[in-house]
Structure 1
Amino acid sequence: MAIVLAILLMLLATAGCAYLAVAAVLVGRFAARPAPGVPEGEPAPGVTVLKPLHGAPPGLLDDLATLCRQRYPGPLQIVCGVADPADPAVAVVERLIASHPGIAIDLVIDPAVHGTNRKVSNLINMAAKIRHEVVVLSDADIRLRPDDLSRVVAALRQPGVGAVTCLYGGQGAAGVWSDLVALGLVSHFLPNAVLGLELGRAKPCFGALIALDRTTLDGLGGFRSFVDTLADDYAIGAAVRASGRRAVLVPSFAVVHRCDEASLAAAWSHELRWARTVMSLDPAGWAGAVVTHPLGFALLAAAFGGGRPALGLALAAIVGRAALAWRVGVAFALPVPALPLVPVRDLLTFAVFVASFLGRGVTWKDQDYRMRADGTFTEQDAPGRTIPGTAAKGESQT
């Protein structure tokens, strides 16, 4: 039985190595596709960028300042929002305003909570400040290149498009654990997303950056429609498609996510939340991702008597993953990933994948939640008990 199991595990590892090679080819092709151009003779629409904030990790000021350096030809407004007047992000935004007097920057401080998703509650509180016809949502830890806004707005102005998003890679900002998280974005998340897009299975909308017309947002019922959904970014894209318009991903670039996880616990909590969110949205697709973990299966095969062939597959998996990470970095001009960490990264990803099937609990912003199969979630202060007033949509409050 051990030998049979070893053979099955080696077959999975072989399929995983083949996946790495295919993904490297697809990533290059995807990144080489031209982005939509700006229609000639049309003035650039005004853009309001919404930045919901919570806390002030190192690098936040630099992240926000990348918005002020955009080479966008039209009017630009930046709206930053916090729920707590004592939030250290307030001081960061005030510094941003003082150092960029020529940019329209608004700060909203509003503690009102409208549902379970605190980030969406923040967006609801910020929405009254929106001045322009194009609304761009971007997570606090995202850094933009000078032409990124122009690219997404150009894609948004194509016929039939209701929302635009883009891929993202990572850059570690807090030591080895943040380097591991950043490497995971480049070596696992991004190529998996490209493969899903190429197979026609993935229809993503990433919170790193989403652009949509104000009229489209209003037609969806505004941000209130997503206040009880953990995967609010995915839900926005699905709602746009359900309205008859397209939600598209710009293929030719990726923004940079600043990773600031300073411990294994922080990295584990973040990635398990992400994994269980994806699994709740696409259980079959998430289960199919089993083939993307060749190193874990090769090492298990070796433990069950696979011998040198299994160890050879393990080495091939490490080399293939490193080559894929390097290929992604070059194709999307992302920061150089920490390639020596590839074996540790692969095993951590495999462990998160296995753990994602062992429960529905997630932690977000120091608060515990429980996922539902429909993507909604409940906030808990103890296992099995929902905090009053935070029941998800369609459930009575207890």
Structure 2
Amino acid sequence: MIDSILYSLVVLSAVFWACSALLLLLSVTAALIHPWLVAMRGSSREQPPVSLVLPVKMLDQGFERAQESALAQTYPQLEALASATETESPAIAAMRDIFARHPQIESRILHSTARFAASPKVDNLFAPFNAARNDVIFMKDSNIVLEPDDLSETMRHLKPGVGMVCAIPYAARPENFGALVEAAIMNGPHQRMLFAASALGGGFGVGKIMLFRRSDFLRAGGFAAIAHTVGEDNATAKALGRIKLRTVFSHRLVRQELGERDLRDVYNRQLRWSVVRRDDEILSFLAEPFCQALPAFAAAAIGSPLVGVAPTTALTVTFCLWLSSETLLSFAKGWKVTWAAPAIFLAREALMFAVWLHAWTATKVVWAKTTIDTRSCGETAAEMEPQVAKEEG
């Protein structure tokens, strides 16, 4: 009986390893063909007026460069709205200066007083979404640096049947070990899975940039449909899906500059996203170990007798397969690779597996240094009046 159980464990481990390795190779291939494949799908040439929404919270490193890149878009008809829950802050002052440097673009700063959602970001977005003068809204996080034609290129994908266009972010300019670990997470398993989904024609709500029509958003339930979660981006995609509108990824990646990062902050950020997947995308959450190398290491060691090799040999092959695949992909994409890559890789894998285990029981997450209880569901936004913003005079 014990021998039968042990043999079953060896077989299951070998099957797990094979599935995980196949997923690695397929996702790396998807990452390489993604720009060409997805660009062919972006066939729309319409350029309707757009309201650019810039939620403002903290004056992080690179804030001005990132926000200024939004005002430098080569797009014919554009207005810009910045929104903050504070009346005054260093970030608001910086945003005011940025707007002053671009007088050719009609711009406003809004003080959002909404307090109804589980996510502070949703509260902050309520004001500009209602105050926007155009139906098409392009929302950008404050840590994303755009190329001058990113808006035009993203607009190519907002076609009939598409409710929202997002973009896959890539990490750039990591300046310490914590940032290198986060870059390895972003440019590694997370990104590979998004590439694979996008290559197959799918998409998820990834809130670094979001392009959508406000009329579709309201028809899908508006803020009442996303007030319950800290994962407002994916909730928006699911709400649009319920009215038969797809979410897709642009062929363009968007640049997120990291600078220096604290490992504790990296852990908390990854935990927040993992908890969102646990609550909103349970199948994706359960599949996460297949995308990680650490479970594959264990599977290789346990399943090695099935192919007649020593556990140390199986571990070495697995380590080299994962590290070399991701290193070659980084070279192909032009991302930073250092001699410390093996140590960064191992630190990433340990952190991500710890995050996944923690996410099973976590009920509180951190967003912008604010602790949020994910069990609170937020009041319905449908009952709120839209006039909750005060525009700067």
Tell me the TM-score normalised to structure 1 length: 0.82
Indicate conservation of the 8 Å contact 1:36/1:151, yes or no: no
Decide whether the 8 Å contact of 1:120 with 1:224 is kept in 2: no
Contact 2:296 2:318 in 1 (8 A): no
1:29 corresponds to 2:51:
no
Which residue does the alignment assign to 1:68? 71
Shift in CA distance, 65/310, structure 1 to aligned 2, threshold 3 Å: farther
Return the alpha-carbon distance in structure 1 between the equivalents of residues 337 and 87 of structure 2: 37
CA distance in 1, matches of 2:156, 2:146: 16
2: CA distance, partners of 1:286 / 1:25:
22
Match of 1:277 in 2: 276
Asked if the contact 1:187/1:321 (under 8 Å) is kept, the reply is: no
The alignment status of 1:89 with 2:88, answered yes or no, reads no
For 2:131, the aligned partner's letter is K
Residue 290 of structure 2 corresponds to which residue in structure 1? 291
Closer/same/farther in 2, CA of residues 196 and 110 from structure 1, 3 Å limit: closer
SS state at 2:163 partner: strand
d(CA) in 2 for partners of 1:301 and 1:244?
A: 42
Percent pairwise identity: 20
Residue in structure 2 matching 1:352, options 355, 363, 385: 355
Q: Give the aligned residue type for 1:228.
A: H
CA contact (8 A) 1:63 1:141 kept: yes
Residues 115, 121 of structure 1: 8 Å contact kept: yes
Q: What is the deviation of 1:314?
A: 3.2
Question: Partner of 1:101 in structure 2?
Answer: 103
Relative distance call for 1:314 and 1:172 in structure 2 (3 A) is farther
8 Å contact kept, 2:300–2:314: no
Deviation at 1:171, TM superposition (A): 2.3
After superposition, give the CA deviation of every residue in 1:260-306 in whole Å (9 maximum; x if it has no partner): 56322111111011111112122233212322223344258659998
1:64 and 1:224 map into 2 onto residues whose CA distance is 28
| Change over 3 Å in CA distance of 1:285–1:112 after alignment to 2 | closer
What is the alpha-carbon distance in structure 2 between the residues aligned to residue 112 and residue 285 of structure 1? 32
Equivalent AA in structure 2 for residue 53 of structure 1: V
Question: Is residue 12 of structure 1 aligned with residue 11 of structure 2?
Answer: no
Q: 1:259 corresponds to which letter in structure 2?
A: L
Aligned residues: 371
Tell me which residue corresponds to 1:80.
Answer: 82
Alpha-carbon offset, residue 77 of structure 1: 1.7
The correspondence of residues 178-257 of structure 1 with structure 2, limited to 5 A, is 178-197=179-198, 203-250=203-250, 252-257=251-256
> Is 1:55 aligned with 2:58?
yes
* Separation of aligned partners in 2, 1:280 and 1:39: 34
Unaligned runs of 5+ in 1: 372-376, 379-389
- In the alignment, the residues of structure 1 paired with residue 116 and residue 358 of structure 2 have an alpha-carbon distance, to the nearest angstrom, of 31
Q: Secondary structure at the match of 1:212?
A: strand
TM alignment of 1:150-169, pairs within 5 A = 150-156=152-158, 158-169=159-170
Query: Counterparts of 2:221 and 2:366 in 1: how far apart (Å)?
Result: 28
Conserved? CA contact 1:168–1:255, under 8 Å: yes
CA apart distance, 1:322 = 3.4
Equivalent-residue separation in structure 2 for 1:213 and 1:327 (angstroms): 38
TM-score, normalised to structure 2, is 0.83
Contact 1:135 1:212 (C-alpha < 8 Å) held by counterparts: yes
Alpha-carbon offset, residue 147 of structure 1 = 1.7
Distance between the aligned counterparts of 1:291 and 1:264, measured in 2?
24
Q: 1:224 to 1:280 in 2, by over 3 A?
A: closer
Whether contact under 8 Å (2:44, 2:157) holds in the other structure is no
Instruction: Report what 1:259 is aligned to.
Output: 258
**What is the root-mean-square deviation in Å for CA atoms of aligned residues?**
3.1
Shift of 1:337: 5.0
Using the alignment, how far apart are the partners of 2:89 and 2:174 within structure 1? 21
Mark the CA change 1:172 to 1:233 in structure 2 (over 3 Å): closer, same or farther: same
1:193 to partner: Cα distance = 2.0
